């Protein structure tokens, strides 16, 4: 009886918080791609808003054509990687600025996505077998998607951590830290940028393909705002954990993705309308970015210093009291 009650409680909690956990995990793959461009390569890439629905469109079209969902997911990865390669080529070979190169690729991908989906803006997968339905049939409706996305995001994180410690990965990191120095050492920085953008957008495309299978449809407009959501997740994770190394940074990015989705859910349950979510996201990013500088405001600085001094006084009083008690015991002995 107690076991059945425990299972019922778990299902009830998952009913409330299961959805943001699932979304945080599946979008965590996208966040790793955003982390790779903005933190490792130091590149302002807006291709994400186009490569995300591209991965979804490719996977959805492939599944409806009878291709296995695993192969369809990898096709979404390669589609996103191709989009990132185009952005890198525009920037490095045609000397178009990074921001404009991403905008041009993102704009062109809108028409490409429509072409991939056969001219339709929405492609349903309700009657198709996907990775999500496979795991839900095997592990239950409540845990299937969570286990699937957790498995994929952990594997992706481990592979990315390993890659960024290889010789090529170190070249990527050096290219983002000091491009002139690494170029003087004979490293092809253009190739590093192209490969880095391809890998990052490949992860974004794979995330899009999984989201399409999770939502049971692909939509041409599902990528709007994804780069902002990815940045918000990266910034939230950095603000909370302040990671020092790559392993901690990738973990912080994934945790930031989950925290971001939970924050959105809490905002909706607090009474915010769905149309207010962009404003909530903007406030989250502004708050995370400005938190370290808020301490320098004179009014807040005085409050922080007064609290610190109060804590120090309490610690001094406690130490004096302990010393007095110790001396009294010694005298009585």
C-alpha 87/C-alpha 149 separation (Å) is 28
What residues contact residue 207 under an 8 Å CB cut-off, 6+ apart?
26, 27, 29, 30, 33, 52, 55
Query: What confidence tier does 161 reach under pLDDT thresholds 50, 70, 90?
Result: very high
**Does the pLDDT at position 159 exceed 90?**
yes
CA separation (Å) from 138 to 9, 141, 180?
Answer: 21, 9, 52
Lowest average pLDDT, out of 57-71, 88-102, 188-202, 228-242, goes to 228-242
Lowest average pLDDT, out of 134-148, 241-255, 287-301, goes to 287-301
Strands (DSSP E) contained in 1-121 are none
pLDDT in tens, 105-119: 999 999 999 999 999
C-alpha 82/C-alpha 200 separation (Å) is 11
- Classify 75 in phi/psi space as left (phi over 0), alpha (psi -120 to 50) or beta: alpha
Share the mean pLDDT of the chain. Answer: 86
Q: Kindly state the average pLDDT of the residues 173-183.
A: 86
- Percentages helix, strand, coil for the chain (3-state, rounded to 5) are 80, 0, 20
- Kindly calculate the radius of gyration of the chain based on its CA atoms and give it in whole angstroms: 24
Q: pLDDT > 70: what percent of the chain? A: 83
C-alpha 153/C-alpha 147 separation (Å) is 10
Q: Which two tokens stand for residue 276?
A: 């207010």
Q: Kindly state the average pLDDT of the residues 164-174.
A: 90
The pLDDT score that the predictor gives to residue 142 is 79
The pLDDT score that the predictor gives to residue 7 is 46
Q: Are strands 122-124 and 217-219 parallel, antiparallel or unpaired?
A: antiparallel
Residue 33's CB: how many other CB atoms inside 10 A? 32
DSSP string, 88-150: HHHHHTS---HHHHHHHHHHHHHHHHHHHTTT-SEEE-TTS--HHHHHHHHH-TTTHHHHHHH
126 compared with 157, residue with greater pLDDT: 157
Query: What confidence tier does 176 reach under pLDDT thresholds 50, 70, 90?
Result: confident
The pLDDT score that the predictor gives to residue 1 is 42
184 compared with 133, residue with greater pLDDT: 133
pLDDT in tens, 266-324: 888 888 887 887 788 788 778 777 766 666 666 556 666 666 766 666 676 667 666 66
> Which among 9, 96, 93, 3 is positioned nearest to 46, based on CA atoms?
96
């Amino acid at each position: 009886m107690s076991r059945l009650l425990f299972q019922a409680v778990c299902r009830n909690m998952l009913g409330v918080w299961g959805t943001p956990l699932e979304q945080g995990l599946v979008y965590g793959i996208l966040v790793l791609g955003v982390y790779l461009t903005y933190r490792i390569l130091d590149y302002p890439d807006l291709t994400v808003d186009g490569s995300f629905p591209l991965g979804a469109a490719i996977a959805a079209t492939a599944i409806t054509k009878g291709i296995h969902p695993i192969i369809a997911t990898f096709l979404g990865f390669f589609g996103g990687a191709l989009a990132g390669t185009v952005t890198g080529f525009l920037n490095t070979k045609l000397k178009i600025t990074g921001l404009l190169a991403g905008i041009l690729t993102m704009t062109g991908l809108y028409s490409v996505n429509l072409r991939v989906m056969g001219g339709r803006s929405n492609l349903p997968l309700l009657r198709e077998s996907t990775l999500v339905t496979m795991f839900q049939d095997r592990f239950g409706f409540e845990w299937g998607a969570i286990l699937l996305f957790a498995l994929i995001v952990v594997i992706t994180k481990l592979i990315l951590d390993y890659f960024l410690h290889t010789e090529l990965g170190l070249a990527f990191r050096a290219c983002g830290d000091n491009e002139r120095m690494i170029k003087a050492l004979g490293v092809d920085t253009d190739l590093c940028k192209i490969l880095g953008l391809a890998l990052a957008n490949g992860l974004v495309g794979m995330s899009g393909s999984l989201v399409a299978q999770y939502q049971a449809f692909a939509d041409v407009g599902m990528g709007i705002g994804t780069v902002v959501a990815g940045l918000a997740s990266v910034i939230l994770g950095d603000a909370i954990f302040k990671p020092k190394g790559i392993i901690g940074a990738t973990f912080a990015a994934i945790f930031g993705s989950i925290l971001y989705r939970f924050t959105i859910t809490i905002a909706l349950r607090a009474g915010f309308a769905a149309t207010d979510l962009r404003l909530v996201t903007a406030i989250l990013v502004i708050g995370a970015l400005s938190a370290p500088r808020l301490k320098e405001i004179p009014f807040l600085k005085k409050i922080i210093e007064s609290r610190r001094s109060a804590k120090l006084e309490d610690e001094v009083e406690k130490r004096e009291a302990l010393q007095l008690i110790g001396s009294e015991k010694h005298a009585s002995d």
